[in-house]
């Protein structure tokens, strides 16, 4: 099991360029997430998906688009990169452990993609 | 929406001492509180979590406590070791038994350094 993998590991873009970050998971998880991590701000949710063909906005969705055409893949797109999008991007996947009481959920994170926009 | 505050932002302890990290949350509907550890250059990894139906949970040297009335929860690490050095994040979310994903709200992180 590779778990959650992300490509590329590092990328430098010029302002206005576009790119796609790829996330893949081999745990058959229903849910997938994209976060960005900035110094002093923790992790903030960009977009998420509850299943193949579905996506939803998170806390900071502006400037990003996502697609989940296959259950195991979740793509994050930047159509026109801006310096404010310089960050470390993490993908995560999970499934909900349903119980009779309060459920629990473990999110498994990928190793991250470091993006620098000049 | 949920707001999670985490303190301190940095914490330095000597090997063998205990470390405590505290978080507060704002949404009374939150019922699931995980803690993640992030080592340098890696993604966060779940180390322990607690649900709102219990007040304390322990796993070897790590324990988490939850006070629902005060809306705060804490991570306790005893007998700290150099390998405990990392950034720790708390998070909170309301989880329900339906097909909706959790939208974790994370704290801003605590950089723990364990010195020899």
CB contact under 8 A, A42 and B9: no
- What's the rounded mean pLDDT across residues B97-108? 80
Count of CA atoms in the C-beta half-sphere (13 A) of B48: 18
**Closest in A48, A99, A111 to B43, CB measured:** A111
Per-residue model confidence as pLDDT tens digits over A9-37: 999 999 999 999 999 999 999 999 999 99
Structure confidence at residue A10 (pLDDT): 97
- What's the rounded mean pLDDT across residues B16-31? 96
**Closest in B51, B89, B101 to A48, CB measured:** B101
Q: How confident is the model at residue B53 (pLDDT cuts 50, 70, 90)?
A: confident
Q: Is the pLDDT assigned to residue A102 strictly greater than 90?
A: no
Q: Is the pLDDT assigned to residue B19 strictly greater than 90?
A: yes
Burial of B1: CB neighbours in 10 Å, binned 0-12, 13-18, 19+: exposed
Per-residue model confidence as pLDDT tens digits over B31-46: 999 999 999 999 999 9
Contacts of residue A103, Cβ cutoff 8 Å, sequence gap at least 6: A96, A97, B32, B51, B95, B96, B97
| Sign of the four-CA dihedral A24, A29, A34, A36 | negative
A11 alpha carbon, distance to own chain's centre: 15
CB contact under 8 A, A96 and B104: no
- What's the rounded mean pLDDT across residues B63-77? 96
CB contact under 8 A, B89 and A42: yes
Mean pLDDT of chain A: 93
Tokens of A87: 């960050």
Percent of chain A clearing pLDDT 70 (strictly above): 97
Count residue pairs from A and B with Cβ separation < 8 A: 86
Whether chain A has a CB inside 8 Å of the CB on B14: the answer is: no
- What's the rounded mean pLDDT across residues B50-60? 90
Whether chain A has a CB inside 8 Å of the CB on B102: the answer is: yes
**Closest in A90, A102, A110 to B32, CB measured:** A102
Mean pLDDT of chain B: 93
Per-residue model confidence as pLDDT tens digits over B72-99: 999 999 999 999 999 999 999 988 766 6
Structure confidence at residue A97 (pLDDT): 77
CB contact under 8 A, B44 and A48: no
CB contact under 8 A, B46 and A96: no
Please give the C-alpha separations between residue B104 and each of A29, A77, B14, B82, B85, in angstroms, as whole numbers: 17, 22, 32, 28, 24
Nearest chain A Cα distance for residue B30, angstroms: 10
Q: Is the pLDDT assigned to residue A61 strictly greater than 70?
A: yes
- What's the rounded mean pLDDT across residues B6-34? 96
DSSP B14-31: ETTS-EEEEEEE--TT--
- What's the rounded mean pLDDT across residues A83-91? 97
């Amino acid at each position: 099991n590779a778990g959650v993998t992300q490509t590329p590991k590092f990328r430098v873009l010029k302002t206005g360029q576009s790119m796609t970050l790829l996330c893949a998971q081999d745990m058959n998880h229903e849910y997938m997430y994209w976060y960005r991590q900035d110094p002093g701000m923790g992790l903030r949710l960009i977009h998420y998906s509850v299943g193949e063909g579905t996506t939803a906005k998170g806390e900071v969705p502006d400037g990003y688009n996502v697609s989940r055409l296959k259950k195991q893949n979740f793509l994050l797109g930047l159509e026109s990169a801006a310096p404010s999008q310089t960050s470390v991007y993490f993908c995560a996947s999970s499934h909900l452990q349903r119980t009779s009481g309060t459920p629990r959920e473990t999110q498994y994170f990928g190793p991250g993609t470091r993006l620098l926009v000049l | 929406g949920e707001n999670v505050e985490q303190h301190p932002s940095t914490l330095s302890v000597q090997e063998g001492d205990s470390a405590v990290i505290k978080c507060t949350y704002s949404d009374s509907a939150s019922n699931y509180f995980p803690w993640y550890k992030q080592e340098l250059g890696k993604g966060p990894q779940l180390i322990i979590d607690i649900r709102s139906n219990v007040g304390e949970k322990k796993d070897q040297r790590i324990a988490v406590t939850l006070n629902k009335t005060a809306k705060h929860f804490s991570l306790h690490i005893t007998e700290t070791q150099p390998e405990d050095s990392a950034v720790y994040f708390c998070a909170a979310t309301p989880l329900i038994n339906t097909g909706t994903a959790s939208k974790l709200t994370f704290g801003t992180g605590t950089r723990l350094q364990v010195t020899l």
